[in-house]
């Protein structure tokens, strides 16, 4: 049984434990806790630290899982408006609003601090890649010319995350401008 | 007398003090020191903490100044090869090599951790903007069609910094690909 499956099974003991753990992580990140460790999370969640050591390889794996859960909850399925430009603009605006919320910005910065070695998997980017692929495939079926999925990630997602990580302002028109730029690549 | 001017005046007492301070900051960031403070820097540099409190508003201002000095030392003037594509590719490759060096990556992450409020000035980006402007102006004088300076920052610099901040791999061909993408916007 995966963490996700356990989390969605209603009423189970492991579901309650997982909710407590996720909530504790969310609170600690939200408070800007300096050094988030298994014992600290366990204490806040009221669970035995061994529960954490057994389920996750390290604290970063847990942080990442919580970040992805928070992310996918906000935007399971990408917009479907009938035009790639509108789809991408709505999607980029949702993401910009999401990552500029103070708690999400803290998550994002916590991710940067937590990653000291090159990572081989970045679940947040994988989720974004799947969403981008869905929008691009629909556009191609409609006969629109499209940028590649990689271009969408490099030129919409990366600049948005860059601004938020480095505490630069994300102006309201910024997501739309990035979408215009990336669509110009496809022409 | 600005910090920069004082630093470049050879042999002066303030020049020696400043060199000791910059070196101390570089060492502490390089060692991955968790919490860099004025007293910690002063101790390492062998100077009185009041020297630091007098010269800089806070420790982030000093960190930023050292980061900019390190940056501009590596790449004062952008490449001038006679073609915007070659200029941008060389420039992006220099930046990619620079920011993937472990000490620079740590600086970059330290910047992310240090910035908790939206910043009104980002000296590193301003330096990049000046360099991009110089290359674009030369290309326009040669009659080349060019992307805007903002597009160059959003679609070459931001994705590179995003990768490094989030510990994603920067493949050798990545800077060149970003340059191709941004030039496609100008067509």
pLDDT at A4 > cutoff 50: no
| B71, B78 Cβ separation under 8 angstroms | no
B109 and A112 within 8 Å at the Cβ level: the answer is yes
And the tokens for B175?
């800077």
Residue B165 burial class via C-beta count within 10 angstroms: exposed 0-12, middle 13-18, buried 19 and up: buried
How many CB pairs (< 8 A) connect A and B?
A: 89
Contacts of B34 in chain A (CB under 8 A): 34
pLDDT at residue A5, rounded to an integer: 43
Q: Give the C-alpha distances (Å, rounded to integers) separating B71 from A63, A129, B29, B103, B125.
A: 32, 32, 15, 12, 11
User: How many helices and strands in chain B, by DSSP H and E?
Assistant: 11, 0
Mean pLDDT of B46-66: 88
CA A83 to chain B, closest CA, distance in angstroms equals 20
B148: which 2 tokens?
A: 């805007």
Mutate one of A60, A110, A166, A176 to test the B interface: name it (highest B CB count within 10 A).
A166
pLDDT of res. A98: 86
More confident residue, A26 or B39: B39
Residue-averaged pLDDT of chain A: 85
pLDDT of A116 over the 80 cut: no
Q: Chain B residues with CB inside 8 Å of A128's CB?
A: none
Contact B148, B165 (CB under 8 A): no
What is the structure's pLDDT at B174? 98
* Minimum-distance CB partner of B109 among A113, A125, A151: A113
**B7 pLDDT above the threshold of 70:** no
**pLDDT tier at A50 (50, 70, 90 boundaries)?**
very high
Q: At what angle do helices B158-165 and B84-100 cross, to 10 degrees?
A: 20
pLDDT band at residue A101 under the 50/70/90 scheme: confident
Mean pLDDT, residues A172-186? 96
pLDDT tens readout for residues B144-160: 999 999 999 999 999 99
pLDDT at A83: 96
pLDDT value of position B81: 96
Burial class (CB in 10 A: 0-12, 13-18, 19+), B68: middle
* Percentage of chain A exceeding pLDDT 70: 87
Which residue is listed with tokens 């003991």?
Answer: A13
Closest CA to A21 of A78, A79, A58, A66: A66
pLDDT, residue B71, reads 63
Give the best residue of B145, B153, B162 to mutate against chain A (max A CB count within 10 A).
B162
Percent above pLDDT 90 for chain A? 50
Show which residues on chain A lie within 8 Å of chain B, measured between beta carbons: 32, 34, 109, 111-113, 115-119, 122, 125, 151, 154-155, 158-159, 161-163, 165-169, 177-178, 181, 184-185, 187
Look at residue B28 in the predicted model and tell me its pLDDT.
82
Q: Do A112 and B117 touch (CB under 8 A)?
A: no
B3, pLDDT greater than 70: no
pLDDT tier at A7, thresholds 50, 70, 90? very low
pLDDT in tens, A156-177: 999 999 999 988 999 999 999 9
Residue labelled with tokens 């020696």: B16
Determine the average pLDDT of the residues in A82-87: 97
Output the pLDDT for position A9: 43
Mean pLDDT across the stretch B62-84?
A: 78
């Amino acid at each position: 049984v995966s963490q996700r499956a356990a989390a969605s099974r209603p009423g189970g003991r492991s579901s309650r434990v997982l909710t407590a753990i996720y909530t504790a992580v969310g609170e600690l990140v939200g408070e800007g806790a300096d050094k988030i460790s298994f014992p600290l999370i366990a204490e806040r969640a009221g669970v035995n630290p061994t529960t954490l050591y057994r389920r996750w390889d390290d604290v970063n794996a847990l942080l990442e899982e919580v970040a992805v859960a928070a992310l996918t909850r906000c935007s399971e399925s990408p917009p479907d408006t009938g035009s790639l430009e509108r789809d991408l603009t709505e999607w980029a605006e949702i993401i910009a609003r999401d990552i500029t919320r103070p708690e999400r910005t803290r998550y994002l910065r916590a991710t940067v601090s937590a990653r000291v070695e090159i990572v081989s998997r970045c679940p947040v980017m994988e989720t974004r890649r799947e969403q981008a692929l869905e929008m691009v495939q629909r556009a191609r079926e409609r006969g629109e010319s499209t940028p590649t999925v990689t271009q969408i990630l490099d030129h919409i997602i990366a600049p948005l995350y860059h601004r938020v990580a480095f505490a630069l302002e994300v102006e309201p028109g910024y997501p739309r401008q990035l979408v215009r730029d990336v669509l110009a690549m496809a022409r």
